[in-house]
Structure 1
Amino acid sequence: MTKFLISIVGPTAIGKTALSIKLANYFDTEIISADSRQFYKEMQIGTAAPTLEELSAAPHHFIHHKSIHENYSVGAFEKDAINKLDALFKTHNIVIMVGGSGLYVDAITKGLDDFPDVDSNIREQLNEQLKNEGLTALQKQLKELDHTSYNTIAIDNPHRVIRALEICIGTGKPYASFLNKIKNLRKFKTITIGLTANREIIYDRINKRVDIMVNEGLLEEVRTLIPYKDLNALNTVGYKEIFKYFDNEWSLDFAISEIKKNTRRFAKRQLTWFKKNEETIWFDYLTETKEIIQNIKENIEHD
């Protein structure tokens, strides 16, 4: 029988986790997370990772399985997740994948793109430029060299910006021109379910989620991570803003407002990324689960 991966995508705070658990329970299967921020066990509140109750409601994989002190690339995740899927498909015909990290989702469903080798000195120079001139200068450079990537990658992530720039500079071609060239064959078929809402609703849900994070102890969580704030895993929304508060650069109210603003920007980029997949079946976030299940079953039966 054909094996199916049900991939649930959509902007942050739209309800992907809740749907994934309902689907996992209905199909009596397990969940793979493709949320790169939720890999790290030290980052619970600020990443809106599944709660202990949610984790116990269905078997989860790739949640808090790494430490912020470990380097964990999308390539390593692809290898680990495919191995896990191979194992899960021995006892399940359907597996659920959920996550808002578009690159990590694509790594599993399509395979990573093949990039040419470039001079390592370019990355060193870009890291030095980041240190001296800041991220904004690199973002501006990327916008000039590759407007497509500027609008689709995680532009607030220095690692992603530098990766795109080093390809642009090293090859003389846009980073985006190397995307989607070679696809790795998969032993399963993917049905992608997208959750969405109008922008005002998405933004309101994000704002409320940030308030909940603060009430649940975000400041205390970030405080324990201050000694490690320069680690790449912590250079992310929800943490970097609070670090500025603890460094007395920002007021707490302003830091919280920046988390909301940056998360809204992130959600906008997520939708831009996920809308590229024309095979995604989109549902309003209030759609009854039974309707989504029926759609999935029909897609499987008609395959």
Structure 2
Amino acid sequence: MTKFLISIVGPTAIGKTALSIKLAQHFETEIISADSRQFFKEMHIGTAAPTQEEIATVKHHFIHHKSIQDNYNVGAFEKDALQCLETLFKTKNVVVLVGGSGLYVDAVTKGLDDFPEVDSNIRETLNTDLETKGLPYLQEQLKQLDITSYKTIAIDNPHRVIRALEICIGTGKPYSSFLNKEKVTRNFKTITIGLTADRPIIYNRINQRVDMMMQAGLLKEVESLLPYQHLNALKTVGYKELFNYLNGECDLDFAISEIKKNTRRFAKRQLTWFKKDDSILWFDYLVDFEVVIESVESKIH
């Protein structure tokens, strides 16, 4: 019997979690999270992780299973997620994957791209440049060397920018030229569902969600993580802006407006990433659940 992975993608704050739970309940199965920020147990509010009630409804994997102090990357996640799928498929014909981290979703569904080894000194130099010249300097460098990556990767994430740059510099070829080579074959079929909306609606939902996060105590959460602000896991939207406020670099209103702006930019990049995949079945975020089920069932049968 063919096994199916139903992957749910789309921009942040569009309603992926709610749909994933409905689908998992319908197929009496479990959910694998491919949201790279929700892996960390110290980050609850700012990552919009599923609530305790949601987790109690359906079993989730890869939610708060790591600490911000752990060195966990997409390669390790691919290995762990495939092992988890192997176990789940012994008793289930369908498993649900959900997440807005395109790279992590692709790692599970298509396999990671093969990158050549490059001189570790390059990364050290780039890290020094980040400290002394700032992220905009590195972003501009990437723009010159690989405009495709500049437009598609998480450009506000220093880790991703440095990764792309070290490949560009170390090989003399664009980072993007190593992407989308022949992918590995998986022993399951993937059906990918995308949720979307008109851009003003997406942006409005993001703004509302940030306000709700602040009301839920995001500032207090970030304050408790202040001693760890140097860790890579925390150099992310919703945390870095409030660290700036707590460090006296801006006022709170400005920090909140920056979270909204940076989250909107992130959503734009997510859509750019997912729109490259023409196998995705796109639905409006208000779609009736029965319509989604009908599409999925027709693909399965």
TM-score range, shorter chain: over 0.9
Structure-2-length-normalised TM-score: 1.00
Q: Distance in 2 between matches of 1:295 and 1:156?
A: 36
The gaps in structure 1 that reach 5 residues or longer are: none
Supply the AA of the counterpart residue of 1:224: S
Distance 2:189 2:40 in 1: 28
Aligned to 2:131: 131
The offset of 1:52, in angstroms, is 0.4
Deviations 1:5-27 (A, max 9, x none): 00000000000000000000000
Residues 1:112 and 2:112 are matched in the alignment:
yes
In structure 2, what is the Cα distance between the partners aligned to 1:46 and 1:246?
A: 16
The answer for the alignment partner of 1:152 in structure 2 is: 152
SS of 1:95's partner is strand
The superposition leaves residues 141-166 of structure 1 with CA deviations (integer Å, 9 ceiling, x where unpaired) of: 00010000000001011110000001
Find the aligned partners of 2:170 and 2:230 in 1 and give their Cα distance.
Answer: 27
Q: Distance in 2 between matches of 1:223 and 1:118?
A: 37
1:49-198 correspondence to structure 2 within 5 Å: 49-198=49-198
Aligned to 1:12: 12
CA deviations over 1:170-208 (Å, ceiling 9, x no partner): 111100000011312211000000000000000000000
Q: What does 1:241-260 align with in structure 2 at a 5 Å threshold? A: 241-260=241-260
Structure 1 runs of 4+ with >4 Å offset? none
- Equivalent residue for 1:27? 27
1:273 paired residue number: 273
Query: What letter matches 2:173 in structure 1?
Result: K
Query: Displacement, 1:41?
Result: 0.3
CA RMSD of aligned residues (A): 0.5
Calculate percent identity across the aligned residue pairs.
73
Secondary structure at 1:261's aligned position in 2?
helix
Aligned residues: 301
Counterpart for residue 217 of structure 1 = 217
Letter of the structure 1 residue corresponding to residue 206 of structure 2: I
Between the aligned partners of 1:276 and 1:57, the Cα distance in structure 2 is: 33
Q: Distance in 2 between matches of 1:270 and 1:244?
A: 25
For 1:98 and 1:73, the matched residues in 2 are separated by: 17
Distance 1:148 1:252 in 2: 35
For 2:6 and 2:203, locate their aligned partners in 1 and report how far apart those are by CA, in whole Å.
Answer: 26
CA distance in 2, matches of 1:207, 1:54: 23
The answer to whether the Cα contact below 8 Å between 1:32 and 1:61 also exists between their aligned partners in 2 is yes
Q: Which amino acid in the other structure matches residue 134 of structure 1?
A: G
Residues 226-262 of structure 1 deviation map (CA, whole Å, 9 limit, x = unaligned): 0000000000000000001101111000000000000
Structure 2: distance between partners of 1:182 and 1:163: 21
2:208 maps to which residue?
Answer: 208
User: What is the SS of the residue equivalent to 2:249?
Assistant: coil
* SS at structure 1 position matched to 2:299: helix
Q: Which segment is superposed worse, 211-220 or 118-127?
A: 118-127
Moved more, 179-188 or 130-139: 179-188
Could you say what secondary structure the match of 1:166 adopts? helix
CA distance, structure 2, for counterparts of residue 86 and residue 208 of structure 1 = 38
SS of the residue corresponding to residue 96 of structure 1 reads strand
Which whole-Å CA distance do the structure 1 matches of 2:220 and 2:113 have between them?
39
Deviations 1:13-69 (A, max 9, x none): 000000000000000000000000000000000000000011111010000000001
> Matches of 2:201 and 2:174 in 1, distance apart?
35
What SS does the corresponding residue of 2:191 show, helix, strand or coil? strand
Residue identity in the other structure for 2:90:
K
- The amino acid of 2:203's aligned partner reads Y
**Structure 2 equivalent of residue 287 of structure 1:** 287
Aligned-partner Cα distance in 1 for 2:283–2:33: 20
Matched, 1:230 2:250: no
SS in 2 for 1:6: strand
Asked if the contact 1:114/1:182 (under 8 Å) is kept, the reply is no
